[in-house]
Structure 1
Amino acid sequence: MKKSNHFANPFAAWTGHRLFHVVAGTLVGAMAVTQASAMLPIPEPALGSPLALQVADNSSRASAQAVNSKITASLISVDATGQELLVPVDANTRLQAGNVLEYQGYFTNTNTDRVRKMTVTMSIPEQVELLGGVAPEFPYGSADGNTFARMPLRGKIDNQLQEIPLKYYQAVRWDIEGVGLNDTVMVKYRARVK
Structure 2
Amino acid sequence: MKKNNHLANPFTAWSGHRLFHVVAGTLIGVMAVTQASAMLPTPEQAVDNPAMMQTGANTNSTSSTQAVNSTVTAALVGVDANGKETLIPVDANTRLESGNVLEYQGYFTNTNVDRVRKMTVTMSIPEQVELIRVVAPEFPYGSVDGNSFARMPLRSRVDNQLVDVAPKYYKAVRWDIEGVGLNDTAMVKYRAKVK
Where 1:118 maps in the other structure, the secondary structure is: strand
- How far off its partner does 1:60 sit? 2.6
Which residue of structure 2 lines up, in the alignment, with residue 19 of structure 1? 42
Structure 2 distance, partners of 1:91, 1:23, is 30
Is contact 1:9-1:94 (8 Å) kept?
Answer: no
Where 1:62 maps in the other structure, the secondary structure is: coil
RMSD: 2.4
Between Structure 1 and Structure 2, the one with more strand by share is: 1
Identity fraction in percent: 65
Is contact 2:46-2:121 (8 Å) kept?
Answer: no
Amino acid across the alignment from 1:95: L
Which residue of structure 2 lines up, in the alignment, with residue 88 of structure 1? 89
Where 2:65 maps in the other structure, the secondary structure is: helix
Structure 2: gaps of 5 or more residues: 1-30, 55-61
Is contact 1:102-1:190 (8 Å) kept?
Answer: yes
Structure 2 distance, partners of 1:25, 1:143, is 22
C-alpha distance after superposition, 1:50-76 (max 9, x if no partner):
xxxxxx52533311xx21111000000
Amino acid across the alignment from 1:62: T
Structure 2 distance, partners of 1:17, 1:76, is 15
Between Structure 1 and Structure 2, the one with more helix by share is: 2
Which residue of structure 2 lines up, in the alignment, with residue 41 of structure 1? none
Structure 1: gaps of 5 or more residues: 1-7, 29-55
Does residue 102 in structure 1 map to residue 103 in structure 2?
yes
Which residue of structure 1 lines up, in the alignment, with residue 118 of structure 2? 117
- How far off its partner does 1:12 sit? 2.7
- How far off its partner does 1:23 sit? 4.5
Q: TM-score, normalised by structure 2?
A: 0.73
Is contact 1:24-1:61 (8 Å) kept?
Answer: no
Is contact 1:25-1:57 (8 Å) kept?
Answer: no
Is contact 1:114-1:180 (8 Å) kept?
Answer: yes
Which residue of structure 2 lines up, in the alignment, with residue 156 of structure 1? 157
Count of aligned positions: 158
Which residue of structure 2 lines up, in the alignment, with residue 185 of structure 1? 186
